[in-house]
Amino acid sequence: MAHQISLPSQLPWLPNAACFAPLPNDFDFDARCEPPPFIRHLQIPDVVRHRLNVVAEKHNLASVAQTRICQYDRHSNTALDVGPPLMAYYDYCNGDEEIEEMVTASEEYILQVGPLPTFVRSIVQKERFRRRNEEQAAKELRKKKKDRTSAPMEHYWVPDPTIVPDKFGHIKSPIPQVYLQSVCAGIVPDIHFWTEGKLDLVLSKRHHLITKELTLGAESDAEEVTVVDLSEMHKKWGTDEDWTCITAMGYAQVLQNLLTAVKKLVDAPAHPAAHDLESHIEYICSLPHFEESYPYWYSWERETRNKILSLGISFSFLEWEISLCVPLEKYRSDKYDSCLVSTLAKRPASPHSSIDSRPSKCSRPSKYSRPSKFPGPSSTPRIPRR
């Protein structure tokens, strides 16, 4: 009688993992969840490509879910197998163009060429959402700018009751926002644009000011701001190239208004631009004979002020003194000449300046007349003859 050998029960075979249970401890579950490379096939129509990718995506999702269950429960159930191998997706050869077409297309077109795989629809929906947010933000920005620039004609600026008037009872006008935006963009309005009358006019009747849109910043964060159109406003209000655009009395006030605008654009008054401009204005306003010498140094002051705002040059008391030597010397010379001419014009005429200063015949003294108290030929006494 033959001896029968009892064999142990065979371990279960795991077809997807291609090994007997249980799975080894070093089994790479992450590699089983990585899809194979895309298949590039140019001859497949878009409709067929979408449907094949939908089938592959459904198969891959189920396979990955089975692999993860096997990974976390394999110790309690050793007979668990991983998911089947993942299927490859068909590549979109013209990726950007096809995605752009689906982003701009309607839902009816998507249904005609679909159904789309989940990862493609997710890309399309995110791009649509991003563009919709950008359009909404741009629309709100345009609306704010329109509300700010198109003020009604009947609107007038009401002074803030908390503002204290000066010693003359005048309330200083605030700086218009369009002026601040212009200075920030490097477009400084002419000096006579900063008078109290012009500021009140811009604040109360905005249509008197001609503006334009200017793009600032890089392309990624570009921003459009409203600034003063100087080329058109020069035709309307003139330029400040000549000192006659504003009087000397109003010149100091408009310089202070410009300084106030520059200080509003910086984080602190100690900013170099505001500090140098303030020192420059204090120096100019302290010049001797400010009103009389105003026409002589106006051109130099205008050029220097523009350099401070545009080029950022620093204030230097010594350089300012040397630069003003010529215009102030010209002023003193002209003043001396005018005083000399005025003095000569007021001097009385000399009695010997006439053509014939000899006394007339009737005015000659006789030989019997008394000698005058002033000696002279007519007053000398005659000596009698013996």
pLDDT in tens, 18-38: 888 888 888 888 888 888 888
The answer, yes or no, to whether residue 373 has pLDDT greater than 70, is: no
Is residue 315 very low, low, confident or very high in pLDDT (cuts 50, 70, 90)? confident
Cα–Cα distance, 50 to 83 (Å, whole number): 23
pLDDT of residue 306: 86
Is residue 372 very low, low, confident or very high in pLDDT (cuts 50, 70, 90)? very low
Q: Do 197 and 257 form a contact (C-beta atoms < 8 A)?
A: no
Q: Do 309 and 262 form a contact (C-beta atoms < 8 A)?
A: yes
Task: Output the six-digit token pair for 63.
Answer: 């396979």
H or E stretch including 297?
helix 290-310
Is residue 16 very low, low, confident or very high in pLDDT (cuts 50, 70, 90)? confident
pLDDT tens-digit profile of 185-196? 888 889 888 888
Task: Output the six-digit token pair for 271.
Answer: 């900013």
Task: Output the six-digit token pair for 334.
Answer: 């002209």
Arithmetic mean of pLDDT, 312-323: 86
- In three-state form (DSSP H/G/I as H, E/B as E, the rest C), the secondary structure along 265-289 is CCCCCCCHHHHHHHHHHHHHHCCCC
Nearest CA to 96 among 62, 77, 70, 120? 120
Arithmetic mean of pLDDT, 317-327: 87
The answer, yes or no, to whether residue 341 has pLDDT greater than 60, is: yes
H or E stretch including 320?
helix 317-323
Arithmetic mean of pLDDT, 318-323: 87
pLDDT of residue 347: 57
Q: Do 63 and 86 form a contact (C-beta atoms < 8 A)?
A: yes
Instruction: Give the whole-number percent of the chain exceeding pLDDT 90.
Output: 1
Arithmetic mean of pLDDT, 299-328: 87
pLDDT tens-digit profile of 295-304? 899 989 989 9
Is residue 161 very low, low, confident or very high in pLDDT (cuts 50, 70, 90)? very low
* Range with top average pLDDT, 87-101, 188-202, 206-220, 256-270: 188-202
* Range with top average pLDDT, 153-167, 194-208, 360-374: 194-208
Lowest mean pLDDT among 169-183, 232-246, 259-273: 259-273
Cα–Cα distance, 179 to 187 (Å, whole number): 9
Arithmetic mean of pLDDT, 133-155: 66
pLDDT of residue 349: 54
pLDDT of residue 220: 62
pLDDT of residue 346: 60
pLDDT of residue 132: 83
Backbone angles phi, psi at 30, to 5 degrees: -65, -35
Q: With left for phi above 0 and alpha for psi between -120 and 50, is residue 184 left, alpha or beta? A: alpha
What DSSP assignment string belongs to 141-200? HHHHHHHHH---TT--PPPPTTSPP-TTS--PPPPPHHHHHHHHTT-PPPGGGGSHHHHH
pLDDT of residue 244: 87
pLDDT of residue 159: 42
pLDDT of residue 145: 67
Lowest mean pLDDT among 154-158, 211-215, 293-297, 336-340: 154-158
Instruction: Give the whole-number percent of the chain exceeding pLDDT 70.
Output: 72
Helices vs strands, H then E, count in the chain: 13, 4
pLDDT of residue 366: 47
Arithmetic mean of pLDDT, 214-232: 78
Q: Do 338 and 365 form a contact (C-beta atoms < 8 A)?
A: no
Mean of the per-residue pLDDT values for the chain?
75
